[in-house]
Amino acid sequence: MHFKWRSCLRLLAVLFAVDCVQCLYEDQIKKFDWRSLHVGGVEKADLDLNGFQPRLLVSTRENVLASLCPETGELMWRQVFESGNRGDIKLMQISSTSTASDNTAAARISSSHGFDMLTVQGHNPALIRGWNSNMGLSEWEWSLMPLQSGRAIDSFWFYSKSMLYHVLPIWQSHLEVTQYFASSGQPLGNTAKIAASWIDKEKCTLSGIYYTCLEKQQLITLDLTADQPKIMYVDLENVPGYPLKNLEGASGVLIVDKKLVAIKNDIPVCKSLLSQSYIVGNYKKEKIIINADVKDKILYIQSYSLESCEPLAQVSSTLSYPEHLGIPNLKAFDCKSSRNSNDENCLFIFDTTDDSIVAVRRSKILWIRSEALANVVSAEFVDLPLTDNEGVLENEMKGKAADIMSAFLHRITSQVMHVKSLLLHVIGLGPKPSDTQRAGLVRDAFGLHKMLVVLTKSGKLFGIDNISGKHHWQYFLHNVEHFANDQEMRLLVQRTSKHFPLSALCTVVAKNKLTENGVLLRFNPITGQTSEGGLLKLTYKIKQLTLLTETDNDFVKGLLIIDAEDRVHVYPEYATKKANGIYMFTAQKDQATLNGFFVQYENKELTTLPLWNVDLSGHNGDHKIISLASKNPLERVHSQGRVMPDRSVLYKYINPNLVAVFTLAKDDVHKFLMYVYLIDVVSGSVVFTMMHRKVRPPLHAVHSENWLAYAYYNDKVRRVEITTIELYEGKTQANSTVWSSLNAPPLPLVERQSYIMPAMVETLRETITERGITNKDVLIGTSKGSILELPWYLLDPRRPIASKTSGREEGAVPYVPELPILTDNIINYNQTISRLRYIHTAPSGLESTCLVVAAGLDIFVTRIAPSKTFDLLKEDFDYFLISIVLIVLVSSSFIAKHFASRKILKQAWK
């Protein structure tokens, strides 16, 4: 009995401990952070307003299946599939009660059920699932494994009359068509092979049950459901300038150069229409066609009867179209009939080129979802401007008075003006506040309130409040894309808001899709308005770029660009002289080569002088650069060394020009070989190199101060590992003032260690603070969507293998191979970030606090304190008690002083 009572008490203790862990800091949830959920750009949509529950079902280019509320755009549920080809949604078929027999949920007689929504995902294997669209739950599933996975990537599917068709194109040869019962996966007959030597990947498309290819000025079509397919031809007037597109909602109708073309003569089509976007649907049991176009910032939505091509005014709309949205593409529409009125409540759903979802009703925009935020490529925290009164005070502090008396009079005068301004503001006669003040965009005392500027893959810019998550402004940069070598577009801060009254200045550097030349966009990050010339289209391709360190009186850091012909350009041009003496380098990933340049200003021109070349391709030339890691330019190193147990100092090897380069090559024995190089990009010298066998990507690295940490997949033991490297100069410091890479500094002492990470790593980032006094932590983004804040002492390569006295005195904990994943160290607690791939950190006004933004499919913004908030009082600080204590202490000191003086006086009279 005594043993049973002990077991019960232990079980209660465990349950109590688990319950306590779950309720830690519950009052602070979403107090210092926020999260926004996204689904990505819409690929296909289905809108139903007349059903039992109105719904908007979408499949997106981010491999997400979701349901949105048609009235508000709120996310009801979503299913996030695998990224890449494995999670690609090839088909989304919705059950409908319409009269069209090819859109019903009918199943085979012997089947147990049909489907509410059917999807086909991936190709190796292809997963066919039936869904409950109200709750987003999978009800049944079957899979198809291809015989040749290399060719299966081009396969596609379509649904017709309870049958699911799988089509595998063999380019320039034939088509292989197989029929399956949709709910069971049982094939119907053998695979049919249709000879089609004209099919081409870039010139063919599927329209319902018809597969059409373009051959010069002719359309060649096959009916894939026919027992004996016949080839149909349609002649065109001209060679199309755009790829073929199928018309949503109609089978056998294509969009060719903005016109509608029917594959067969018996298919109704309005040939006189000319539009960028079409869709076919039902209206009062009649087939109608709707098109949408933007002209002079006005969106025109027009509808026509599909049989007579007569316009329908009751389903047409005209409204103002916002400038920050891209070109609209109509994806779905539906009209909700009203029994008491003839007014039709029609809702139109658009997908735009800036990856937004727009809902239009009754000539007004009902709601907008900014799905461009599902692909964030860069982010920056920008300081907010001062208030008007603080700005005046800032100017006073900058001014230089002739003597003390004049400075005193100037100060008194300014105080009188402040009192006058306050009185006028109270009675309503004062000057109106600026737009930024009305929006609450002013700097706070601790620098925690900032503007989060976000650049997305589609070229969309956002100005977001980092405290509330409100979108203050948006800007869309048309026809831009990332650079070669998989280099994303760049967002640079050329001037911050700290230089009152000058406004902040940011620049976006991208590549033009049409000409492949560079594009610059200079704008004010607080208001989102263009400035300093705005949009600038360059006449050359960008090879490399950097910001200059020195500034002029306007505090703008010049942007230095090297073009494809190694010519140098500086923006703004008056900062050209500041580029003299700059060292730059370029890297070719495929060739695994690095080249160093010296920029010099001679004869009023900038030229580049090649200095060094490093070839890392190996003796077989099969090595390729997979990643580069440089240091954060905002980083400040507070401590120059590390105190040893004998009270000596081990000085850090702090080289600001050090860059980590990672190369990968295949090997017959070890499968993969990964090399790590630490290269000084000013002199071109290789400071350190190391090789890993049987490891492969994904690789993620972070480089800071004198250490490097990188995560990789160990193919031998099938696990993720993190290797850390620390560099030291030794017990004596070579140069304690200014580092120079040209003076041949001594080779560093290298400490290295590897750890086991019990999770898949998606990204790494270090914390950064204003002065660098706070301890460094490493933020590890995992594949589960959590962000682990790992203190550096757990990754320290000097952790002793055995627990020695010297190690304890030095402050290093004993070495343990596996890194712990503590629940308390996950900074986003239960706010999971789907497909986390980007983390950005920035300092705040408080030395203890670091601002963090994490992005993937979702966005999460928070702030962390690696060394706790040592420079900030707690929220529950008892001000009343401390006031009483101070009053008592001050009073006691005066009383004690009085009694002490009386005592001294009495002693003097003795």
Buried b / exposed e along 792-825 (16+ C-beta atoms within 10 A): bebbbbbbbeeeeeebeebebeebeeebebeeeb
Question: Which residue pairs, CB below 8 angstroms and at least 24 apart, start in 357-363?
Answer: 357/42, 357/58, 357/68, 357/73, 358/325, 358/328, 359/70, 359/73, 360/299, 360/301, 360/317, 360/319, 362/317, 363/317, 363/318, 363/319
**Both structure tokens of 639:** 């401590």
Asked whether the beta carbons of 594 and 683 are under 8 A apart, the reply is: no
pLDDT digits (tens, 9 = 90+) for 562-606: 999 989 999 998 889 999 989 999 999 999 999 999 999 888 889
Q: Report which DSSP code applies to 153.
A: T
Cβ neighbours of residue 100 closer than 8 Å, sequence gap 6 or more: none
pLDDT recorded at residue 9: 41
Q: Looking at residue 505, what is its pLDDT?
A: 95
The H-or-E segment that residue 20 falls in is: helix 2-22
Measured at the alpha carbon of residue 517, what is the angle toward residues 513 and 523, in degrees to the nearest 5? 85
How many Å apart are CA 120 and CA 88, to the nearest integer? 8
pTM listed for this prediction: 0.89
Collapsing DSSP states into helix, strand and coil, what is residue 551? strand
| Helices assigned H by DSSP within 297-446 | 388-398, 404-427, 435-438
Sign, Cα dihedral of 549, 554, 556, 560: negative
Q: Are 389 and 430 in contact (CB under 8 A)?
A: no
User: In the beta sheet, which residues pair with residue 197?
Assistant: none
Strand 749-757 relative to strand 761-766, pairing: unpaired
For the segment 806-829, what is each residue's pLDDT rounded down to a tens digit? 556 677 888 999 999 998 899 999
What pLDDT, on the 0 to 100 scale, is given for residue 542?
94
Edge-to-edge strand order for the sheet containing 605-615?
Answer: 582-588, 593-602, 605-615
Contacts of 689 (CB under 8 A, 6+ apart): 675, 676, 677, 678
State the 10-residue block means of pLDDT for the chain, 910 residues long. Answer: 46 40 58 93 93 91 96 95 93 67 47 75 93 91 88 92 92 93 88 92 92 92 91 90 89 92 89 92 89 94 92 91 94 80 78 96 94 96 81 58 70 75 69 69 88 96 94 95 89 90 93 94 94 91 92 90 92 90 92 94 89 91 93 90 86 93 91 94 93 94 95 95 95 80 84 95 95 94 95 92 65 89 91 95 94 97 92 83 93 93 88
d(CA 275, CA 292): 7
